[in-house]
Amino acid sequence: MTDKPRIGFIGAGLMGHGMAKNLVEAGYPLSVLAHRNREPIDDLVSRGASEADGVAAIASTAKIVFLCLPGSPEVEEVVGQILSAKGPVATIVDTSTANPVSTRSLAERCHASGISLVDAPLSRTPKEAWDGNLDVMVGASEAVFEKVKPLLDVIGGKVVRVGETGAGHTMKLLNNFLSLGYAAIYSEALAIGAKGGVSAEVFHSVIGGGRMDCGFYQTFMNYVVGGDPNAHKFTLRNAHKDMRYLVSLANESGIASNVSSVVKNTLATAEATGHGSGYLPTLADIVAELNGVGRGKA
């Protein structure tokens, strides 16, 4: 027996698999929702987790439920099912990248049912998720944050309370805006360079190690010049979704979305041309193709 609370985990995908693995290995009783991809579910069950056949089954036993879902529509649907189940759930920790407007509305509904909704979106990659070394941006009251921090410390190497509910998802969108903006800039710069006779390798030899270098630049260029197709496993479809949320938030806030709208439209073009399932660094190929140049070639 353990005095640790039972956790339900919904969304054991690329990021969720590693997070759930670390929770169960830390000794938390874990129920995981069945998923179309059997590999992570079977792995988690082999480590001691139990499999549930629906959201209601998760909500009927779990004290805390983690969500790691594609976006706000899925989060809204699952939270609605948890509330309808009227089980022992006291806290929902939403690690998805979601729209803060939706998050704040859901938090009010949860509060009316005696449940705390914590937005705790993530930064970094599935590798860090597996290693328990994610960056976690948390929106919650100070009291609720202190209650959930031991759990978040299991999945994260850097756990920061950024404000009240909704602030976590806001900070995550700002974080992604920076990285996705860089992706758009790198892609256009590489296309201009290719047209002007500057190869991607030469570009990288100048920028790499200089003042404009950074961790994201390195993973992006690990695909462009290193040829690693898994250098940054984040799809263009999800990137486009995140920028739609960011522009929506800017519009609601009365902020002119001059730059963010351009980045959003760049990603919209990538998805509209059939490349939504590609990973983010492939944006360099798409921008090059749209401009009639071979990436890295004059």
Find out whether 180 and 263 touch, Cβ atoms under 8 Å: yes
**Which tokens hold the place of 196?**
């002007």
Q: For residues 178 and 172, what is the distance between their CA atoms, to the nearest angstrom?
A: 10
Query: By CB neighbour count within 10 A (0-12 exposed, 13-18 middle, 19+ buried), where does 142 fall?
Result: exposed
Distances (CA, A) of 77 to 54, 71, 83, 176, 181: 13, 10, 10, 24, 30
State the amino acid at position 210 in one-letter form: G
Pairing of strands 30-33, 91-94: unpaired
Q: Which two tokens stand for residue 266?
A: 């760049």
Any idea what DSSP says for residue 113? T
Which position among 86, 149, 172, 264 bears the catalytic label?
A: 172
Alpha helix positions (H), the chain? 16-25, 38-46, 55-59, 72-85, 100-112, 126-131, 142-155, 167-195, 200-207, 215-224, 236-253, 258-270, 283-290
Q: What is the CA radius of gyration of the chain?
A: 20
Q: What DSSP string runs through 13-49?
A: STTHHHHHHHHHHTT--EEEE--S-HHHHHHHHHTT-
Give the Å distances, CA to CA, from 18 to 40, 41, 93, 98.
Answer: 9, 11, 16, 20
CA distance 263 to 184: 6
Determine whether 127 is an active site residue.
no
Q: Please list the active-site residues.
A: 172
